[in-house]
Structure 1
Amino acid sequence: MQGVFILSDSPLPSIPGYDVAGVVLKVGSQVRAFKEGDEVYGNINEKGLDLPKTYGTLAEENLLALRPTNLGFVEAASIPLAIGTAYQGLEKTGLSSGKSIIVLGGAGGVGTIVIQLAKHVFRASRVAATSSSAKLGLLKSLGADLGIDYTKDNFEDLPEKFDVIYDTVGMILNLCCLSAISKY
């Protein structure tokens, strides 16, 4: 299975803003989950109206959640789309208990979540991930069994093959790594 990102067909200039975090300024008469002053985060998907997102946007309450107190606004806003992308991608690959995975771009937003989900939710038998040498410790702290420095290590020389390649970087690295997958 191969999936690639589809470029947006939004007219330019486009102000991205699916992931949000902020303070509720006003609530509608039917809103029950939030009140003015609540700190929230979420993925408003394409439901937000075309307002300048630097100040605010309108969102349905089912697209938001209270911001965890251990996360700042920036951290909270970085999670919703990344976790959805990571989870959906893992589901589509068929990763399951006992299978192995290599995550290309393991230190990025989606990659960091893929490592954790693969290890702790999908119960992968082995999780390998790539990053620069400076981020190898991060990969291990997230649950990767093997951190690979893509600037030094040749994927074709990997001692083992993987059931799944999850590419968060792009096609060039994917083509370099095909020999690392068990069915290739």
Structure 2
Amino acid sequence: MPTTADQNSESSMRHVIYDRFGERDVLQVVRSDVLTPAEGQVLVRVHGAGLNPIDWKTRKGLGFAARQIENSLPWTPGYDIAGEVVAVGEQVTTLTPGDRVMGMVGFPATGGGYSEYAVAEADELAIVPEELDLVTAGGLPLAALTAWQGLFEVAKLEAGQKILIHAGAGGVGHFAVQFARERGAHVIATASAGNRDFLAELGVHEVIDYRTTDIVEECYGLDVVLDLIGGDTGKRSLHTLGEQGVLVTIPTVTADEIISEAEAMGLRAHGMTVRPDVFHLDEIAELIEDGDVRVHIEKAFPLEDVAQAHEMLEGGHVRGKLVLDCR
């Protein structure tokens, strides 16, 4: 664990903690000493901290991350950061103060993103493209890595294949539709009618309004389904697959039952858990640099409005991403 260094003893930072699991009222903003990076780590002045569904689920004590931290409370949530390197620990040769960086950090047990300063492993961080401001970049790592790994590592999506992406306008979804299009796939996405134009702008070929249309009647013989909803939606989506097709389901809570149902039908389905991967982040940064992929932020909240941010996050139906502006 990083320690508080003497030279930082007068400098303090604001960060979010909760000391017990519960509703949004357990979130509080406190002040602590700024941390010093240990060997192999860097200290980042955070500009943007991404919000992800795992954040509110863990806060409520749900899921695998909550099991990892239940004996470490109080805890600072947040796995996504972007900002500026202000100090580097020993043995760090890849980054220097002033570098603009982003990364999925402290996953799953350390967290620490919802803060004015965060310590990260140097090898968790990628350089942010000049085209991207640092608050926006905070919304990228975890969701973009989830989309990338689900599509290309688990589903092994290839050019010319047909893919259905559920919740295409959401955090993971809006990256997934762009990555799939960029790879040369035919992209179908489910969304509400209000997101049709947004998805068309991202290059989606067909948008299905999940409120009015049954995907099983609309889709058949698909190569890949990326299921970002889980439960019954995931199970019904199995009926849209071709014989060699594969469904990748992201919500861990219902993954086992969807995989069992797929096996019973003689089909393939996989669950997955995202992992930090700086090489993938570099590839994604390149697509952003080239103008092929964009990050959509629906709203940026100041650190002290973290409870409102969680309220919006929990409500679902966010277009793109939510971030905390920690500047």
| Residue matched to 1:176 | 236
In structure 2, what is the Cα distance between the partners aligned to 1:169 and 1:49? 26
SS for the counterpart of 2:242 is coil
Higher relative contact order (CA 8 A, sep 6+): 2
8 Å contact 1:47–1:59 — kept in the other structure? Answer: no
Alignment of 1:1-184 (within 5 A): 7-8=64-65, 9-12=67-70, 13=73, 14-46=75-107, 53-90=114-151, 91-121=153-183, 123-124=184-185, 126-158=186-218, 160-183=220-243
Superposition TM-score, scaled by structure 1 size: 0.81
Deviation at 1:156, TM superposition (A): 2.3
Q: Which runs of 5+ in 2 are unaligned?
A: 1-53, 55-62, 244-264, 266-327
Distance 1:29-1:47 versus aligned 2 partners, 3 A rule: farther
Q: Which has the larger radius of gyration?
A: 2
CA distances 1:29-53 after superposition (whole Å, capped 9, x unpaired): 4433333333321122439957684
Q: Which runs of 4+ in 1 moved over 4 A?
A: 47-53
SS at structure 1 position matched to 2:178: helix
Q: Which has the higher strand share?
A: 2
Deviation at 1:24, TM superposition (A): 2.0
Conserved in 1, the CA contact under 8 Å of 2:68 and 2:108? no
Give, as a single letter, the amino acid of the residue that structure 1 aligns with 2:78. G
> Which segment drifts farther, 89-98 or 30-39?
30-39
The sequence identity of aligned pairs, in percent, is 33
SS at the partner of 1:118?
helix
Normalising to structure 2: TM-score of the pair? Answer: 0.49
- Aligned mates of 2:138, 2:229 — CA distance in 1: 21
Report the count of equivalent residues.
178
